[in-house]
Each structure stands twice: as structure tokens, then as C-alpha cells.
Amino acid sequence: MTDRNDAARLHRDALVIDSHNDAIVNHIRRGNLGFSGSPPPDGDRRLASVAGLRGRLDRPALESPVQIDFPKMRKGGLDAAFFAVDVTLAVKNHLTYALDAIGFFDSELEMHGDDVVLAKSAGDIMRAKQDGKLAVVLAIENSDGVEGSVNVLRMLYRVGVRSIGLTHDVSSLAADGNAEARSRGGLTRFGVRLVEAMNVLGMLVDVSHISETGFWDVMDVSQRPVIASHSNCKGVCDHPRNLSNEQIRALAKNGGSMGITFVPRFVDKSAPSFNRLLDHVDHAVQLVGADHVGIGSDFDGGGTLLDDATSFPRISEGLLARGYPEGDVRKILGGNHLRVFSEATGN
């Protein structure tokens, strides 16, 4: 039996990274709820693009607590997280929507500058860990946020965006999404140019949500490691959002990583459970070893299998209980994502 004290020590000492959440938009749709866990601030930030286009969450959603904020990251020993802005529903307003959400989050980071760092490099994440600070990485989900322009991509890089998901379930200007599987479409000409430009700038290409054909196109085009920030194993749960064994092997050959996610329907179609979640980790590790597997919760976006960020220590306990060596647990908790982030961004 695993000693819980050993698991707690390992979790505390390890670098823990979550490669995907949807918290920014979720907080805005709660009336600009602050990331300190405090009530919504007063002011003109309420009247903005995300709130106008999406509106407030409905009452049942508002009554459920947020899954990730800065205090919950602290309590769960979560050192760094990728905060994504999904622009899919902002039709004809993708870039404005993205910048509005990033602007809201930027004001939050400014208020918490003594405790939270915007990480633009792997070195920033490591320094934050050493200094006892939290690190956040800005991401955009669905590359329509760049509005078909590499020039816009450059400016998003300037404001700190370091990861972009090429599609959501539906298709984007860059590629078909996983919901468009019948089209057998992959990267468009712009999608190829986008991946190439992201490689040059030093931005992480995210293949979660992309069609299978698009996935293979990315493997052909990208000269740097890529990430599947929140995808599970099709060999455990046959869902279109999950990766096949062949895709997982190709991701490993590319040097990339996959973030096992907490979305119940991606874990098991009939009986999702924490043990079943760990089965996805086992499956991927058995296929390609422990160097290409991480965690991507999808908190505040459907990742409800674990309650919230305070539940992250359960992962360390569960992996140790299954006999994983401490070194492999450290890789899965964050070491692999850090390596991929470093190699993709060049720093």
C-alpha cells in the first residue's frame, strides 16, 4: 500500500502542470469573477465582448463552484496551468473575443503579480516554481483566433500567447475538426503556413480536436514537438476526441506529449471513474513509455471527473499505488509537458 505521506511529498516536490482549462471565459461568464476566489469586482470590465457574445452562465452552472483559480491551484499543488480561450462560438469576432478574454485575465495577473507569473518560456515556469509562485500559460483554442493572418499570430505571440489549438470540434481556417471526420479533410494551405510560422516563432501546436487526417498532416509539417493538450486513448474509450494507438505512437516519435483529460465521456462511455482515468495513463505508457504522457484537466470546460484543482494530489497517489516509479510520476505530473513546451518554444 502506498504511503500517503510519500505521495504528498512527491506531489509537493514535483513540478505539476495542467495543459488545458477553460477558466478565463468561465470566470467572465460568472460576472467577471476574480481568480483570487473573491466576489466579482465592480467596474466597466463587465461590458465587454465575451460577456456580450456569450452572456452569463445559466443558474445551474452558476451554482456550481469554479474548478480552478489561484487559491485552488495552490491547495492542489498545481504549479503551472495552460489557460485557454476557446473562440469557436465568437463567429466573425474571433480575435476581438480572444483579446477581450486575454485582457480580462491580464488585469487579474496584474493584481496578483506578487504571486502569479505569466510564463512565456519553460524557464519562466521553473523560476516561478523555485520562487514559490504560480505560472500561467496563455493559449487559444481554435486557430480562427488569428483570423487567417500570420501577422496577427505574431502579435498574439507578443502579448504572451504560447499555445494554439488548430481547431475545435468544427473546422477552422487551418484544418477540419474531429466532428468533420466524414470529410477526410486535413490541414488547409493556411494551416500548413500556420504550423510552419508557429514553429518559427516558438509557439506550441495543439492537436486536440483536430481531424485524424489533420493530425497526420501536422506530423508531416511540424519540425517541433506538438501537444494534444486534452485528449485520451481511443484504445480504452472509443470516442472521436481520443487518440488511436497509431496517433499516440506518432506523437511520441514527434517528441510530443498528450494530456490525459478529466472529461467523463472521453474516459469511459458507460462508467467513467478515477481508476478508469488512470487506465488511460497506463495504456499510453504501455504504448510509448512514460516520456510522452501528462495531464490536461479541461477544468471549467467539461473536465468534471475530478472535482477541481485541489484534487490533483489524487493523481500522484493513484500512480504510486499502481507501482509507477517516482521518476515516471514526476514526468507525468509535469516534466513531460515542460520538456515539450521548452522544445516547442525554443527556451
Give the C-alpha separation, 209 to 258, whole Å. Answer: 12
pLDDT of 43 reads 47
Non-local CB neighbours of 192 within 8 Å, separated by 6+ positions:
217, 221
One-letter amino acid at 264 equals: P
Q: What are phi and psi of 234, to 5 degrees?
A: -65, -25
Mean pLDDT of 307-330: 98
Neighbouring CB atoms inside 10 A of 57's CB total 16
Whether the per-residue pLDDT at 2 is higher than 60: the answer is no
Mean pLDDT within 125-148? 98
pLDDT band at 41 (very low <50, low <70, confident <90, very high): low
pLDDT of residue 264: 98
What is the average pLDDT score of the chain? 95
Note the pLDDT tens digit of each residue in 175-214: 999 888 667 789 999 999 999 999 999 999 999 999 999 9
Question: What is the distance of C-alpha 321 from the center of its chain?
Answer: 26
Provide the residue type at 184 as one letter.
Answer: R
Three cell numbers, residue 114: 506578487
- Whether 171 and 177 have beta carbons less than 8 Å apart is answered as yes
Distance of CA 81 to the CA centre of its chain: 7
pLDDT, position 1: 47
Could you read off the pLDDT of 77-131 as tens digits, one per residue?
Answer: 999 999 999 999 999 999 999 999 999 999 999 999 999 999 999 999 999 999 9
pLDDT range class, residue 47, cuts 50, 70, 90: low
* CB atoms closer than 10 angstroms to residue 5: 8
How do 293-295 and 134-141 pair as beta strands? unpaired
Q: CA-to-CA distance for 325 and 330, rounded, in angstroms?
A: 9
Q: Produce one character per residue of 122-131: b if its CB has 16 or more CB atoms within 10 Å, e if not.
A: bebbbebbee
- SS3 per residue for the chain: CCCHHHHHHHHHHCCCEEEEECHHHHHHCCCCCCCCCCCCCCCHHHCCHHHHHHCCCCHHHHHCCCCCCHHHHHHCCCCEEEEEEECCCCCCCHHHHHHHHHHHHHHHHHHCCCCEEECCCHHHHHHHHHCCCEEEEEEEECHHHHCCCHHHHHHHHHCCEEEEECCCCCCCCCECEHHHHHHCCCECHHHHHHHHHHHHHCCEEECCCECHHHHHHHHHHCCCCCEECCCCECCCCCCCCCECHHHHHHHHHHCCEEEECCCHHHHCCCCCCHHHHHHHHHHHHHHHCHHHEEECCCECCCCCCCCCHHHCHHHHHHHHHCCCCHHHHHHHHHHHHHHHHHHHHCC
Pull the grid cell for residue 255.
517528441
Can you give the pLDDT at residue 49? Answer: 85
pLDDT at 217 over 90: yes
What average pLDDT does range 48-69 have in this prediction?
A: 90
In the chain, the domains with their CATH numbers are 4-345 (3.20.20.140)
pLDDT-based confidence at 45, cuts 50/70/90? low
Please tell me the predicted confidence (pLDDT) of residue 40. 63
Residue range 234-257, pLDDT digits in tens: 999 999 999 999 999 999 999 999
* pLDDT surpasses 60 at 13: yes
Q: Which of 23-27, 43-47, 153-157, 191-195 has the least mean pLDDT?
A: 43-47
pLDDT at 248: 98
- Asked if 170 contacts 180 with a C-beta cutoff of 8 angstroms, the reply is yes
